Amino acid sequence: MIRFFNLLLVIFFSFFVKANALIEVDITRGNLNPLPIAVSPLSLDSKSNQELQKIFKKKNIGAEISSVVENNLKTSGLFNPLNKDAFLQKPDIAHLKPRFEDWALIKAQALITGKVKFQDEKLRVEFRLWDVLAGKEMMALAFTTVPTNWRRIGHIITDKVYERLTGEKGYFDTRIIYVAENGPKTKRIKKLAIMDQDGFNTKYLTLGNELVLTPRFNPTNQMVTYLSYFRNLPRVYLLDIETGVQEVVGDFPGMTFAPRFSPDGKKIIMSFAIDGNSDIYTMDLENRIVERITNHPSIDTSPSFSPDGKYICFNSDRSGYQQIYVMKNDGSNVKRISFGKGLYGTPVWSPRGDLIAFTKLHKGKFYIGVMRKDGSGERLLTENYYQEAPSWSPNGRVLIFYRETKSDSEGKGFSAKLWSIDLTGYNERLVITESDASDPSWSSLLSN
């Protein structure tokens, strides 16, 4: 099958210059004041370019990599990449020694320069981040990889720049797994699909012969757990992305659904429905031991572990309506945490551990929101006709979810799309997909 995780990444040199008065980006305040940044096209010598053109059919791979970086920075909402037409310095010279006055003139506060070389059948990329006002280098790194990984180089550069300037890990060298949708509402065809975080390199993992729902990555991004209606038996499955091998999780005499991995990747937590009652179970993937976690005549579903694995948040209608509950990982100490007006579903624990994202339904509108793990500090980030199922970026700063539009009686006007929004409630964006899409799940960082 598709081999995704074969990046040979070597960091050659890495030194951070600690200096005073360097630029910082505050990521807690939304995108009110994005940092003006100049992303100079990575310079490329003509011999390397000739050879690389044979591989890619791209005019200039250096410029292509820098536009990956530029697009990432722009989508983050925290940066304002400046128009290249205004750049005065040539890429190769800027990379050696930027003339800071030139960059200050176009109001750049930070500058990214770099160089690409093709050597021993590999792509060697180096880049530097400069503080324009202080006139100092902030970071210099180099990578070597197979040429087909060129987009990942762009994502890794963005992660390094983001981390250097915000003080937090990035989320750009990541993938999204989701359900690609086609066809009329009454006979929707659904396939598992995987793509880079920026919407490129889409691959389909199933053919659409059976209904598939709610895919989720394991912590190392090599496995996916999801619901499949294979042979009309809705069951939780496990798929190895590299080998394509699939298996049913456990041997349940009824529907299993709403799967997620435990943070250590060793267990799958899910719901099992029988005789009109859904409860939460775990299955250990090594010894196949199944444990029942909840035992209640209500619907208990959408379980999600805390990042330390000690707690589980889930959705139950035991109060009469869907609400969010938290319990210990053995099912004890069940506590309701959602008390606002309306119904609450799809709780999912932030990778930082402090917040739980959720879907809320109130007066015919759907909201994506967050609350603290004790239920306090509820904050609604976005309101719409229909949206649900948030998934966190690995740094806990962005949520991706899906949104459906209203249709008329013939089903016209219906669409399902992926959207992202910052935890601040700012920077709401459509995530471009090849087809309609739903049930997104964000991977962890592919390289650290």
Which residues of the chain form contacts with other proteins (CB under 8 A)?
A: 184-188, 211, 213-214, 227, 232, 234, 254-255, 257-258, 271, 273, 275-278, 299, 301-302, 315, 317, 321-322, 342-343, 345-346, 359, 361-364, 385-386, 388-389, 404, 406-411, 413-414, 438-439
Tell the smallest beta-carbon distance from residue 430 to other proteins (Å): 20
Check if the beta carbon of residue 307 is closer than 8 Å to that of residue 326: no
Nearer to other proteins by Cβ, of 143 and 272: the residue is 272
| Placement of tokens 């090594």 in the chain | 286
What count of other Cβ atoms lies within 10 Å of the Cβ of residue 376? Answer: 9
Contact (CB, 8 A) for 143 and 128: no
Q: Which long-range contacts (CB under 8 A, 24 or more apart) does 140-144 make?
A: 140/13, 140/14, 140/15, 141/11, 141/12, 141/13, 141/14, 142/11, 142/12, 142/13, 143/9, 143/10, 143/11, 143/12, 144/8, 144/9, 144/10, 144/12
Query: Least distance in Å: CB of 407 to other proteins?
Result: 5
Give which of 306, 309, 316 is closest to 357, Cα–Cα: 306
The CB-of-182 to other proteins minimum distance in angstroms stands at 14
Output the smallest distance, CB 387 to other proteins, in A.
10
- Which C-beta is closer to other proteins: that of 133 or that of 343? 343
Smallest gap from residue 320 Cβ to other proteins (A): 8
Residue closer to other proteins (CB basis): 153 or 227: 227
Q: Residue 136 or residue 362: which is nearer to other proteins going by CB?
A: 362
Number of neighbours of residue 203 by Cβ within 10 angstroms: 14
Q: How far is the CB of 298 from other proteins (least distance, A)?
A: 9
- Find out whether 83 and 41 touch, Cβ atoms under 8 Å: no
Give the sheet arrangement for strand 365-372, strand by strand.
Answer: 343-349, 355-362, 365-372, 379-384
Cβ-proximal residues to 408 (8 Å cutoff; 6+ apart), any chain:
none
For other proteins, the closer CB: 113 or 323 = 323
With both helix axes pointing from N to C terminus, report the angle between 150-166 and 61-76 in degrees, rounded to the nearest 10: 40
Q: Are 391 and 441 in contact (CB under 8 A)?
A: yes
Of 216 and 267, CB closest to other proteins: 216
**Beta carbons of 251 and 236 less than 8 angstroms apart:** no
- Give 218 or 302: the residue with its C-beta nearer to other proteins: 302
d(CA 123, CA 117): 6
> Least distance (Å) from other proteins to the CB of residue 189?
11
Q: Which long-range contacts (CB under 8 A, 24 or more apart) does 196-202 make?
A: 196/151, 196/155, 197/155, 197/171, 197/172, 197/173, 197/442, 198/68, 198/71, 198/72, 198/75, 198/155, 198/172, 199/431, 199/432, 199/433, 200/151, 201/151, 202/433, 202/434
**Pairing between β-strand 136-145 and β-strand 43-44 as defined by DSSP bridges:** unpaired
Alpha carbon distance 295, 436 (integer Å):
37
Query: Closest approach of Cβ 270 to other proteins, in Å?
Result: 10
CB nearer to other proteins: pick between 148 and 407? 407
CB of 27 to other proteins, least distance (A): 29
CA–CA dist 347, 326 (Å, integer): 10
Least CB distance to other proteins at residue 403 (A): 13
Nearer residue to other proteins within complex by CB, 27 or 236: 236
Q: Which is nearer to other proteins, 120 or 408 (CB)?
A: 408
- Read off the tokens for 362: 């109130």
Single-letter residue type at 104: A
Question: Which residue number, 206 or 214, has a Cβ lying nearer to other proteins?
Answer: 214
Q: How far is the CB of 300 from other proteins (least distance, A)?
A: 8
